[in-house]
Amino acid sequence: MREKRRLTIVPLVLSILLLVGGAPATAQPGTVLAIADFADPGTDGGAMIQAERLSGYLQHRLQALAGDRLQVLAGDRVRAVMRAQGVTALDLLRRSRATSVAAALGASRIITGSWRTLSLASAPDAPPMPRGAEREATAVFDVWMIDAASGATVLHATYVGRATGQGRLVLLEAAREALDQAARAIAGM
């Protein structure tokens, strides 16, 4: 009788172990993505809106769009690794530097970018720069997503944001529009 009970219990225990051991871990995000500060090589309006630091905006947009599929690292954590390696945002436009920073962060991919244009001009139908006139802002953003393991470029695209309004906030609005386009493209991958 004991032996019959043992023969019944052993397969039951093995079945339970296989079920528990084979269960997928649902708490792990799919991809760890690092977002570095963006290069701003001499654009007109970059300093007005701290364009290099808009990586935080992209981080929040990506996290909202992708949810648990992405774990997004940005801001001080990424800056600390960049400082430790003596790397600037402009240096990260070279793949070897970008993959080195990604590896140090434990990220599977890294996003780098460069502001090609950040300009604020009077609207075409406005008289020459009167006070309070609406201005047209244009932001052109180049973005690269690089695979940390292979160094392959997963995404290279250019996004253009435009906005019309008053003051320097219109330039920030145009930059955010360009970053929103980038976030949608990255989250959809």
CA distance 59 to 74: 6
Q: Which of 159, 109, 118 is nearest to 136 (CA)?
A: 118
Residue of 118 and 5 predicted with greater confidence? 118
CA distance 61 to 187: 9
Fold type of domain 27-187: Rossmann fold (3.40.50)
Residue range 24-71, pLDDT digits in tens: 333 344 789 999 999 987 766 677 778 878 999 999 999 999 988 889
Residue of 21 and 181 predicted with greater confidence? 181
Residue range 80-103, pLDDT digits in tens: 999 999 999 999 999 999 999 999
CA distance 12 to 17: 9
11-20, 49-58, 121-130, 174-183: which has the minimum mean pLDDT? 11-20
C-beta of residue 166 within 8 angstroms of C-beta of residue 134: yes
Residue with tokens 């997963």: 154
Residue range 126-173, pLDDT digits in tens: 455 556 667 889 999 999 999 999 999 999 999 999 999 887 789 999
Residue of 127 and 22 predicted with greater confidence? 127
Kindly list the domain boundaries of the chain, sorted by start residue. 27-187
CA distance 115 to 57: 14
H-type helices in the chain, by residue range? 2-21, 55-66, 76-85, 95-105, 169-187
